[in-house]
Amino acid sequence: MFSFSLWVSVVVFTCLGLAMGIVCLAFSLLNAGTRPIETITGPMGLYLWNSLAGTETQRKFSWIDIRAIASILENLKSQSCS
């Protein structure tokens, strides 16, 4: 069956990944037009925001993989019992 908590987790991690990606895009455009002085908006900041976006996306895929494996194991258990 479909797990509501999995669905919520996927939506949350997708939104977090998109938000971090949008922040990174904004800082990239800022870097293209100006000379940033602060680290958070400079090249190191771009690495930070990209890694945060990648981490949230990886969490989403991990949750999907974990739930798929759990579903397969549940199906195998139910087939072996009957």
Containing domain of residue 75, as a range? 4-81
* pTM of the predicted protein model: 0.56
Where is average pLDDT lowest: 31-35, 36-40, 48-52?
Answer: 36-40
What is the dihedral sign for C-alpha 29, 30, 31, 35?
positive
Q: For position 1, what pLDDT does the model report?
A: 58
Query: Cα separation of 58 and 16, whole Å?
Result: 11
Q: For position 82, what pLDDT does the model report?
A: 62
Query: Cα separation of 3 and 17, whole Å?
Result: 21
* Higher pLDDT, residue 22 or 46: 22
> What residues have CB less than 8 Å from 45, skipping those under 6 apart?
27, 36, 38, 39
Q: How many domains does the chain have?
A: 1
9-24 mean pLDDT: 83
pLDDT > 90 fraction of the chain, expressed in percent and rounded:
0
